[in-house]
Amino acid sequence: MNTYRTLAAVALFSLGLANASGCVSSQSADSAVVASGSGFSVTLAEVDEEVRERLFQEKTRGGDVAMVYELRAEALDSMIQSHVLATESTRRNVTVDELLASETPAVTDEEVEAFYETNRERMQGASLEAIADRIRGFLGQQKQGETVGALVEAASIEVSLERPRFEVEPIGPSRGPTDAPITIVEFSDFQCPFCSRAVPIMNELLSRHPDDIRVVYRHLPLESIHPRARDAAVASACAEDQDKFWAFHDALFANPGQFGDEDFARVSTEVGLDTEAFSACYAVRTPEPRIDADIEAARAAGVTSTPAFLVNGILMKGAQPVEAFEQVIASELAQGRTAAP
């Protein structure tokens, strides 16, 4: 089954438009009684509704508004793609498969070899000959996706589905101009491995948009799974008091697993802190109220995992690729939106 058809099926089901009983769509089939007795009766339609509700709750994590948006956006994209492909294939009097075949460039041997060489370390020792067909299939899917994207763009379909926004105060250590039109509030945990992956992503975004982006760091130590995360947050906040937060931040993420008090003391020396002032701050836990305020702000926005980012209030969860952030940033800049003061 082609990718776009699979996505279309998911879209229809997600929006409750697909008939769970397959090709049978008659009223009598939906109203057929599938269980009865002892004053109890259930129709097939009632069972289907129960399944839909359970899957919806599972997919959206209990109706989380950000997850609901993601599900709706994925479904809407798939429905738009299916509509555009069907309309264009009808206009040309060809099948959808024929349309895609005619519009999608073939994958060349040179492209397969180039991909293999670029990703050789990830091939687990497999030779080019052994894995060439899989690479060709992967690149073919990419090209087909680009073809579908180009057809959708040419169709000029206006989409008004908007991402939900959350109000989170951008307070805390930051990088980038304070008057930047884009503010990214990052909730992070120093012991979270996925948070360490987000560090180069934020660095790349700041490098690409030096005048347009401000990144604000807020703490969300997940103590139930990262027992030293709160201590690391306190230590970094003590470094912030001496205007050395980012140096401390980079050092902690560069050395995963080194979260003992002696490690914090060593880093304080390496980044040039007043070690006596740092030790005193850490010993009496001076920054604790700040850490608690960050945690409460995260909870108020529905953030329960790390890393999480609010791009002008738009919630993005996980260490997503640079391109995912770029899409939101480009949309915000194109619409002339600015971060809340």
- One domain for residues 192 and 138: no
- One domain for residues 324 and 222: yes
Q: How many CB atoms are closer than 10 A to CB 170?
A: 19
- One domain for residues 183 and 142: no
Model pLDDT, residue 338: 65
- One domain for residues 102 and 12: yes
Is residue 271 helix, strand or coil? coil
- One domain for residues 18 and 66: yes
Give percent of the chain with pLDDT exceeding 70: 90
| Number of domains making up the chain | 2
With bands split at pLDDT 50, 70 and 90, how would you rate the model's confidence at 2?
Answer: very low
Domain range spanning residue 180? 174-334
Model pLDDT, residue 38: 87
| Tokens standing for residue 241 | 């008091």
Per the CB < 8 A criterion, the answer to whether 276 and 130 are in contact is no
d(C-alpha 48, C-alpha 16), whole Å: 10
d(C-alpha 197, C-alpha 297), whole Å: 23
Peptide bond into 170 cis (omega under 30): no
Model pLDDT, residue 24: 40
Return the CATH number at 283. 3.40.30.10
- One domain for residues 230 and 147: no
Chain segment 97-107, per-residue pLDDT in tens: 999 999 999 99
d(C-alpha 273, C-alpha 267), whole Å: 9
d(C-alpha 272, C-alpha 251), whole Å: 12
d(C-alpha 157, C-alpha 238), whole Å: 51
- One domain for residues 185 and 322: yes
Q: Of 108, 123, 155, which one is at a domain's C-terminal end?
A: 155
- One domain for residues 55 and 93: yes
169 occurs within a structural domain: no
| Tokens standing for residue 143 | 């090209």
14 occurs within a structural domain: yes
Chain segment 171-202, per-residue pLDDT in tens: 999 999 999 999 999 999 999 999 999 999 99
- One domain for residues 122 and 195: no
Q: Tell me which of 62 and 145 has the higher pLDDT.
A: 145
Q: Of 86, 120, 155, which one is at a domain's C-terminal end?
A: 155
Chain segment 38-87, per-residue pLDDT in tens: 889 999 999 999 999 999 898 887 878 878 888 999 999 999 999 999 99
Q: Of 88, 120, 155, which one is at a domain's C-terminal end?
A: 155
Chain segment 112-140, per-residue pLDDT in tens: 999 999 998 888 889 999 999 999 999 99
143 occurs within a structural domain: yes
Per the CB < 8 A criterion, the answer to whether 307 and 198 are in contact is yes
Model pLDDT, residue 7: 39
Say whether pLDDT at 6 is over 60. no
- One domain for residues 179 and 328: yes
166 occurs within a structural domain: no
- One domain for residues 239 and 134: no
162 occurs within a structural domain: no
- One domain for residues 117 and 181: no
